[in-house]
Chain A
Amino acid sequence: ILNVEQSPQSLHVQEGDSTNFTCSFPSSNFYALHWYRWETAKSPEALFVMTLNGDEKKKGRISATLNTKEGYSYLYIKGSQPEDSATYLCASPNDYKLSFGAGTTVTVRA
């Protein structure tokens, strides 16, 4: 089982504040790093797929960075809004298996 870990498990952030959280993965045999957003009662939806060391991707107020040499990725939410409340999952393929972290649940308080 590929050891993909996320921290913290959960966090609360005040509306308007920015936040970030981490995904760590084995740096050997790296292929790609995925981030998904999972809202309650819905299905996970892809945010980013990152493959290159140093890669940075952005979608609206959400951005992500990737360090393949040390095996971590950060997801940033700038100016959090209530609609950002969700569980954020990262995943990394190992051969043809795709292993997910347990997720970081973000709750934005108005």
Chain B
Amino acid sequence: EAQVTQNPRYLITVTGKKLTVTCSQNMNHEYMSWYRQDPGLGLRQIYYSMNVEVTDKGDVPEGYKVSRKEKRNFPLILESPSPNQTSLYFCASSLAVTGELFFGEGSRLTVL
């Protein structure tokens, strides 16, 4: 089954404790991206990747890092989480930026 898998789905952590949200897709997609969703603000792009070892900042990259060492994986790293990073996070992939996005199930992160 074609899918995008994120983990963890839910996480409560404390300020400053490094965490990684994993994302994996099995569709051989080149384009992958991370979004955060906050009430009233819609989906905002954090980082995107056009292919292996090619990543770039989206609209709200501050406080986040990503890597793309393999085509299927695109982890989101919060080196020192802060409460303003409490949000619902989505990973998505597509064949290209102009193609339809396939979304993961979302990861709800709370930073205390």
Using CB atoms and an 8 Å cutoff, list the residues of chain A in contact with chain B.
1, 31-32, 34, 36, 43-46, 49, 51, 89, 91, 93, 95-103
Whether A43 lies near B103 (C-beta < 8 A) is: yes
In the complex, which residues 6-56 of chain B have their Cβ closer than 8 Å to any Cβ of chain A? 31, 33, 35, 40-45, 48, 50, 56
Whether A89 lies near B43 (C-beta < 8 A) is: yes
Whether A46 lies near B97 (C-beta < 8 A) is: no
Is B90 located at the chain interface by the 8 A CB criterion? yes
Using CB atoms and an 8 Å cutoff, list the residues of chain B in contact with chain A.
31, 33, 35, 40-45, 48, 50, 56, 58-59, 90, 97-106
Contacts of A49 in B (CB 8 A): 98-100
Candidates B58, B59, B97, B105; contact of A43 at CB < 8 Å: B105
Contacts of A31 in B (CB 8 A): 97-98
Contacts of B90 in A (CB 8 A): 43-44
Query: Which chain A residue lies CB-closest to B104?
Result: A43
A98 to B31, CA, bound (A): 11
Whether A101 lies near B42 (C-beta < 8 A) is: yes
Given known pairs A1-B59, A102-B40, the reply for A97 and B100 (CB within 8 Å) is no
